[in-house]
Amino acid sequence: MGFQVTIVGSSGAVPAFGRHPSCQFVQVQNRCLLLDCGEAAQMQLNAYQLPLHKINHIFISHLHGDHYLGLMGLLFTMHLQKRTAELHLYSPRGLDEIIVQQLKHSNSALHFNIDYTAFRTDTPQCLLDDEAITVTTIPLRHKLPTAGFLISEKTKPLRIDKNQLMPGMKLQHIAQLKQGSDVVDEGKTLYRAADFTLPPRPSYTYAYCSDTAFAEEVVAQVQGADLLYHEATFRETDREKAGETLHSTAQQAAEVAKRAHVKKLIIGHFSARYRELDGLLAEAKDIFPETLLATEGRTFDLDAHDS
């Protein structure tokens, strides 16, 4: 499995015109991550046949309701369907209290353990670091403590050139070559890694910037990302409203993408005042042509450079 981002919800504060509050499903190297979990998240996951029970890490950007109110429903469904695997939940401080209170007053105890990580939002913090990926917070500028998430693949292993394999080669030798090590026996080189391997497949970076006013400091952290999601709640005619609510316009999102030299931009978190989104897209594309709309059910495949 490669690196795919599926839009589960793309609306702003309220559902509107078939759009639902923020939620994205990310599959990267057989890992399933959820970014925000707005209302109707589990219904949308089911609608798009996304494997909710494979989700082991959920990242909540901030505690405005449209970014987490779908979480309890999802947790109870996992519970009712007998999930036992531990779930890792990341958010600014306070989400664990919200969940504990709801479980308390519903007299419920989940079948699975939740490992809570409360992160600061004033400085980048690494939340997940395994053999394949890292997830680091992106401090954002909003009315509540808020952070986006930078998902980065580590350098992938070398690939074996199957055309160069020789009869009698042992599996452990092939595994050793894939690690970039020559196979040596009693001081004699049997196989050189350079003769049997191809360069690693490309590694990709995805930056998710949820609710935020335009922030210069974001530009440096998302520099060169293969794919950037940046909220674009308002059109330019409503720039004053964007400033009051600490949100961004489509042009401001595009300006971040342009300055950061990202490869592609997705805009979302659309205000309910807009039935049609073509105007938002046009305003962003005027500044950053490689802009796409975050529309429900759309999957962006970084390996395929999906458009």
| 201-234 residue pLDDT tens | 899 999 999 999 999 999 999 999 999 999 999 9
More confident residue, 159 or 139: 139
Total H helices, total E strands in the chain:
9, 18
The whole-number average pLDDT for the span 89-101 is 97
The token pair at 224 is 């060169």
Catalytic annotation, residues: 66
Within 10 angstroms of residue 141's Cβ, the number of other Cβ atoms is 17
Measured between alpha carbons, how far is 95 from 75 in angstroms, rounded to an integer? 13
Percent share of the chain, pLDDT over 70: 99
Residue 167 vs residues 164, 170, 252, 276, 300: alpha-carbon distances, Å: 10, 9, 59, 61, 41
Residue 1 confidence (pLDDT) = 58
Weakest mean pLDDT among 108-117, 132-141, 177-186, 254-263: 177-186
Residue 200 has pLDDT above 90, yes or no: no
Contact 52, 41 (CB under 8 A): no
Residue 166 has pLDDT above 90, yes or no: no
Q: What mean pLDDT, rounded, does the chain reach?
A: 93
Distance of CA 244 to the CA centre of its chain: 27
Measured between alpha carbons, how far is 51 from 36 in angstroms, rounded to an integer? 16
Measured between alpha carbons, how far is 56 from 100 in angstroms, rounded to an integer? 19
By C-alpha distance, which of 33, 80, 89 is closest to 60? 89
Please list, in sequence order, all residues whose beta carbon lies within 8 angstroms of the beta carbon of residue 298, skipping any fewer than 6 positions away. Answer: 6, 7
By C-alpha distance, which of 12, 4, 30, 1 is closest to 212? 12
The whole-number average pLDDT for the span 278-295 is 98
Contact 56, 87 (CB under 8 A): yes
State the Rg of the chain over Cα.
22
pLDDT category at 307 given cuts 50, 70, 90 is very low
CATH for 3-156+201-301, options being 2.40.170.20, 3.60.15.10, 3.30.1180.20, 3.40.50.300: 3.60.15.10
pLDDT tens-digit profile of 230-278?
A: 999 999 999 999 999 999 999 999 999 999 999 999 999 999 999 999 9
Stated pTM of the model = 0.92
Residue 305 has pLDDT above 80, yes or no: no
| Sequence ranges of the domains in the chain | 3-156+201-301, 159-198
Percent share of the chain, pLDDT over 90: 82
Give me the torsion for CA of 11, 67, 204, 125, rounded to 10°.
Answer: 150
Distance of CA 113 to the CA centre of its chain: 23
The whole-number average pLDDT for the span 23-43 is 96
By C-alpha distance, which of 7, 141, 116, 123 is closest to 62? 141
pLDDT category at 172 given cuts 50, 70, 90 is confident
Residue 17 vs residues 7, 20, 22, 47, 270: alpha-carbon distances, Å: 16, 9, 14, 17, 11
Residue 184 has pLDDT above 60, yes or no: yes
Measured between alpha carbons, how far is 110 from 83 in angstroms, rounded to an integer? 9
Give me the torsion for CA of 224, 227, 231, 236, rounded to 10°.
Answer: 70
